[in-house]
Structure 1
Amino acid sequence: MSAAREDAPLRCEGLARSFGGLQAVAGVSLALPAGQVTALVGPNGAGKTTLFNLITGNLRADAGAAWVRGRPITGLKPWQVARLGVARSFQDLRLFTHMTVRDNVLAATERSAWFWQPGGAAGRKRRQAAAEAALEATGLAALAGARAIDLAYAERKFLSLARILAAEADIWLLDEPASGLDPASRTRFAELLRAATGRGVAICLIEHNLDVVAELSDRIAFLDQGRVIAEGDPRSILRDPALAAIYFGDRHEPATAAAETTA
């Protein structure tokens, strides 16, 4: 294993998960370097979201292991993984729809039940400041008192990201975060991600819009049938005709025939 892979804030080795006779994730090894965006690309059903669920503890792995800054996280509950600085978004957003925008963001800063919050008044003030900064960064400050259910779709997307920002996590797992965004919102989203990587945040995103992938990612891991079959720089991966055939469902050869690409 390379030193760079060993030093990555989050890495997994041989993660696997089956559902009955279907092997959704089949021995995936992946490292997320600090200060980079790694995109997971592949056809529908390739195992991308299942991999996120294995890392975050939403699903239990049949085999393999994952580490956050060298600490084993396999078998931990989702809230335990989150406390180690891993934040994620979901395709269905999972917001508290009848709570205000501000309260949705504040909820992401709560590490335990409210009456056990550490830090007293100073800690509470720090959490409130983090929430307000996240709302400002995502353009939601003027909507802080609105209910999440009353937001437009793009605004809900940014609320999901504001929760991650306020949690001050240094590992982000984003599941289709740019889907449904208009061009201006996509530009703001890209700026937020670049600002985060500039602070050393390790980001992994699942995204079907290949223009977004090309614009934002530093590296791509291409998944097919539960396996990483290629990994490398965006230019090499996105221009590989064998991988394009797999992605668009025009297979003329088995997925395992796709050559691994390195940066």
Structure 2
Amino acid sequence: MTDLPLSVRGLNKKFGGLTAVQDVDLDLQAGICTALVGPNGAGKTTIFNLITGNIPPDAGEVLVNGKPVRGMVPHRIARMGVARSFQDLRLFGRMSVRDNVLAAIEHSAWLWQPGGGAARRAREAAVDAALDRTGLTALADARAADLAYAERKFLSMARILATGGRIWLLDEPASGLDPHSRARFVSLVRSAVADGVTICLIEHNLDIVTELATRIAFLDRGAKLAEGEPQAILRDPELIGIYFGERRT
């Protein structure tokens, strides 16, 4: 049996007396988009933080291509092909668009690393390709701080593209986008999925979820309540009630 790109088994995390993630199992299947859906505080971003090593789990395991990563620092997990966006984007505002993208692959850009001119040209080609796919080529020399909000969102996506990672964790990447920019984003994600990239998406816009996701995992209060095809999950009256604030007893 081929190892899944990413699996989570029995993941748990508490912050003081608050249970943020409770016994979550999750499999990301190769080359599809899986959406994490649930109300605010359901534990979605915490799961991303646990997967990427930004916070340690209290219990459970994360496997990347069948290999356990618990205890690894975030940059080591990233080098295994796990690329991530953040709600707050975390761009370098005073740096150019191009340098922001280059910084995402800087672990291979140190002067004392092997590869010489060929490696430098490969990095530059990766940056150029990422800027082209996100529509930012004409803004390559602009400061990140001077970009419009939507273009900052696409800069975050360009950084992911440049890494060459095959597992993407996208945390509300389309929030606040205008209709035209949303369409650009949907096209970009669909293209990546068609290229075989495995994507996990946190997104509150259910229209985008239904456009992109093949599977949905529904979470509430840190627990996974259901998982399945989007139509089945989003037509469940109990789950939709929870999503829109009708709490369970």
Sort the TM-score into its range (normalised by shorter chain).
over 0.9
Letter in 2 for 1:122: A
Contact in 2 for aligned 1:104/1:163 (Cα 8 Å): yes
Aligned to 1:156: 152
> Where has structure 1 moved over 3 Å in runs of 4 or more?
none
Q: Retained in 2: the 8 A contact 1:110–1:117?
A: no
SS for the counterpart of 1:111 is helix
Structure 2 equivalent of residue 28 of structure 1: 24
1:139 aligns with 2:135: yes
1:62 and 1:160 map into 2 onto residues whose CA distance is 30
**Deviation of the 1:7 alpha carbon:** 2.7
Equivalent position SS for 1:235? helix
1:165 deviates by: 0.3
Is residue 109–residue 166 contact of structure 1 (8 Å, CA) maintained in 2? yes
For 1:74-85, list aligned pairs within 5 A.
Answer: 74-85=70-81
Query: Which residue of 15, 21, 24 maps to 1:19?
Result: 15
Deviation of 1:118 after TM superposition, in Å, equals: 3.3
2:52 is matched with 56
- Separation of aligned partners in 2, 1:83 and 1:219: 26
Choose the corresponding residue for 1:224, options 220, 223, 229.
220
Q: Distance in 2 between matches of 1:116 and 1:188?
A: 38
| Residue of structure 1 in register with 2:39 after alignment | 43
State whether residues 109 and 120 of structure 2, in contact with CA within 8 Å, keep that contact through their aligned partners in structure 1.
Answer: no
Partners in 2 of 1:113 and 1:218 — Cα distance? 36
Deviates more, 1:166-175 or 1:114-123: 114-123
Which residue type is aligned with residue 208 of structure 1? H
In 1, Cα distance between equivalents of 2:29 and 2:115: 31
Judge conservation of contact 2:96–2:140 (CA < 8 Å) in 1: yes
Counterpart of 2:99? Answer: 103
Query: When the two structures are superposed, what TM-score results if normalisation uses the length of structure 2?
Result: 0.97
What are structure 2's unaligned runs of at least 5 residues? none
When the two structures are aligned, how many residues end up with a matched partner?
Answer: 249
C-alpha deviation, 1:250, in angstroms: 1.5
Query: 1:160-199, CA deviations, whole angstroms, 9 ceiling, x for partnerless residues?
Result: 0000001000000000000011111111111111111111
- Work out the CA distance in 1 between the residues paired with 2:108 and 2:93: 21
Given that 2:12 and 2:23 are in contact with CA atoms closer than 8 Å, whether structure 1 keeps it comes out as: yes
| Residue in 2 that maps onto 1:258 | none
Query: What amino acid is the match of 2:125?
Result: A
Does the CA contact (< 8 Å) of 1:15 and 1:27 recur in 2? Answer: yes
Alpha-carbon separation, structure 1, partners of 2:68 and 2:204? 30
Q: Quote the RMSD (CA, aligned, Å).
A: 1.1
Query: What is the distance in 2 between the residues matched to 1:15 and 1:116?
Result: 39
Larger deviation: 155-164 or 7-16?
7-16
Q: TM-score, normalised by structure 1?
A: 0.92
Instruction: Mark the CA change 1:12 to 1:116 in structure 2 (over 3 Å): closer, same or farther.
Output: farther
Structure scoring higher RCO (CA < 8 A, sep ≥ 6) equals: 2
Following superposition, the deviation at residue 119 of structure 1 comes to: 1.6
Alpha-carbon distance, 1:117 to partner: 3.0
